[in-house]
Amino acid sequence: MAFGAMMALAMFSTVAAQEEPSVDDTLADLTVAINMVWLLMTAFLVFWMQAGFALVEGGFTRAKNTGNILMKNMLDACVGGLLFWATGYAIAFGLSGDESNGFMGNGNFFLSDFTSYGSWMFQFAFAATAATIVSGAMAERTKFSAYLIYTAFISGLIYPFVVHWAWDVNGWLTAFTDDPFMANGYIDFAGSGVVHMVGGTAALVGAIVVGARKGRFDGNAKAVTKPHNLSLGVLGVFILWLGWYGFNPGSTLVVTGGFADVAAKVAVTTTLAACAAAVTAVFWTKLRTGFYDIGIILNAVLGGLVGITAGCATVDPWAAIVIGAVAAIIVPFAIQLLEKLKIDDPVGAVPVHLLCGAWGVLAVGLFSTQSGINVAYGEADGYGLFLGGGAEQLVAQIIGLAAIFAWTAALSGICFVGIKAIMGLRVSAEEEEEGLDLGEHGLNAYDLSTIHNAVEPRFDSAAN
């Protein structure tokens, strides 16, 4: 429809219908239109986070594995897309007849209900995020094929259940009902728990099952952990930050009915948490190591963003700053803890997504304001402990946190152990040594050898 001259017509009439539509019909049409623009544009921003994860993971690992890790990040979205179409969305939100149960959805497999298209697009982008978190923790030694099989399970099965529990009105953890299991139910506005803890838990389990990289704890650790390309890593964090403006504000899903103001608030709290985390990490790393540690600072930014994701709609800006600052300190401690436990997580996926995700879930029970819950979820029944709202919301958060962790750890454990037993999870020692780019893909990611660096710029820029 509607190119060129048609478009001009359509844009200057209210709708392109033959008969004049009623005011109510036009209002309904405009409401759908504005909400769809918001839903799709924010979904596209969330999809963009795939590129951010790819670059962060690529930049912070070694050059000989770059192509492999980048492609894992792209392919998990692709495998995940097909599985989320086949089963994932159905398990999360599907309705057979009038109602689903508290444990799983039960209809709309293969996206049979066309009224779900906008919602599917948005939820697919979230599913892809949960899946892609894992690749970083298992980088530089996991088989391409084994990783892709795992991503089918998390996108099509493990993650959708958690979504149903927390974000479907019929889920047992849901906050979107008049009859929640406790207080206001489990509140997780954009998914510190639902998305990041799921990804981070699977990342932890995967890193344990696949084992540490050669040399990580039994050789020259610094040679193993040197980032190969900080420019990629920093750009990746900028991309993720931008994508988070789809992730968090977009989780209003609608901007009518007063939710435009919620979206604006979420943009502010998201921004301030990231800012506070970065500044905290600057001080922290300088005081502890004498250097402004770029890896820690970047992970702190991501940790701050993960931390504010659950409470972005229900906490005030000052609390967002506190949440971000605490996340920034969680990150280095968690890195040290993994170091002591000899768990090898090359890019810090577990500290950022599991630990800061858990912190974000708890922070909802500590810092949420009564008015914040009222506006975003309806009549608050209990709110932040630190603000005098009692402990009940915190307990609800702990229950949700425990359920998400236990479910994901159990199922991803079965999944990784099964893959390891059946087909092997890890590349050969020789392949790990020469790099997965050569071993799995038959080529190298970089070749600058055609440049003659002896030659200096030939033009005289002063002659311009």
Site for its own copies in 287-326 (CB under 8 A): 288-297, 301, 317-318, 321
Strand partners, 426: 142
Distance, in Å, from the CA atom of 183 to the CA atom of 382, rounded to the nearest integer, reads 6
Among 56, 133, 204, 272, binds its own copies (CB under 8 A): 272
Total number of residues binding its own copies (CB under 8 A)?
Answer: 179
User: Within 338-377, which residues bind its own copies (CB under 8 A)?
Assistant: 339, 376-377
Binds its own copies (CB under 8 A): choice among 255, 350, 352, 425: 255
Nearest-5° angle of CA 90, CA 92, CA 93? 70
Residue 299 or 412: which CB sits closer to its own copies?
A: 299
Closest CB 304 distance from its own copies, rounded Å = 9
* Residue 58 found at the interface with its own copies (CB under 8 A): yes
Other CB atoms within 10 Å distance of the CB of residue 413: 17
Residue 225 or 386: the one with the smaller Cβ distance to its own copies is 225
38 contributes a contact to its own copies by CB under 8 A:
yes
Region binding its own copies by CB under 8 A among candidate stretches 106-114, 199-207, 357-365, 416-424: 106-114
From the list 56, 57, 77, 207, which residue makes contact with its own copies (rule: CB under 8 A)? 77
- Residue 249 C-beta: closest distance to its own copies, Å: 6
Judged by CB under 8 A, the chain residues 3 through 22 that form the site for its own copies are 3-8, 10-17
Backbone angles phi, psi at 142, to 5 degrees: -95, 135
Q: Which residue has the tokens 């999360």?
A: 92
Q: How far is the CB of 106 from its own copies (least distance, A)?
A: 13
Instruction: Give CA–CA dist 213/207, Å, rounded.
Output: 10
Site residues (CB under 8 A) for its own copies, limited to 383-422: none
At 426 the three-state DSSP class reads strand
Structure tokens at 463: 């002659």
Rounded Cα gap, residues 93 and 97, in angstroms:
13
CB 237 within 8 Å of CB 298: yes
Contact status: 257 vs its own copies (CB under 8 A): yes
Interface of this chain with its own copies, residues 147 to 166, rule: CB under 8 A: 148
- The single residue listed with the structure tokens 């962790």 is 405
Backbone angles phi, psi at 426, to 5 degrees: -120, 145
- Give 225: exposed, middle or buried? Use CB within 10 Å, 0-12, 13-18, 19+: middle
Quick one: which of 88, 104, 120, 361 contacts its own copies (CB under 8 A)? Answer: 120
Q: How near is the Cβ of 415 to its own copies at its closest, in Å?
A: 19
Any residues with CB less than 8 A from the CB of 18 and at least 6 apart, and which? none
Q: How far is the CB of 288 from its own copies (least distance, A)?
A: 5
DSSP H/E element including 156:
none
Nearer to its own copies, 1 or 421 (CB): 1
The footprint of its own copies on residues 188-247 (CB under 8 A) is 222-223, 225-232, 234-235, 237-239, 241-242, 245
118 vs 413, beta carbon nearer its own copies:
118
Residues 6+ away with beta carbon under 8 Å from 43: 121, 122, 124, 125, 246, 250
Least distance CB 150 / its own copies (angstroms): 14
Q: Angle formed by the axes of helices 117-137 and 159-167, to 10°?
A: 130
Selected from 262, 302, 312, 347, the binder of its own copies by CB under 8 A is 262
- In the complex, the smallest distance separating the C-beta of residue 411 from its own copies, rounded to whole angstroms, is 21
Rounded CA gap, 356 and 352, in Å?
Answer: 5
- 435 binds its own copies, rule: CB under 8 A: yes
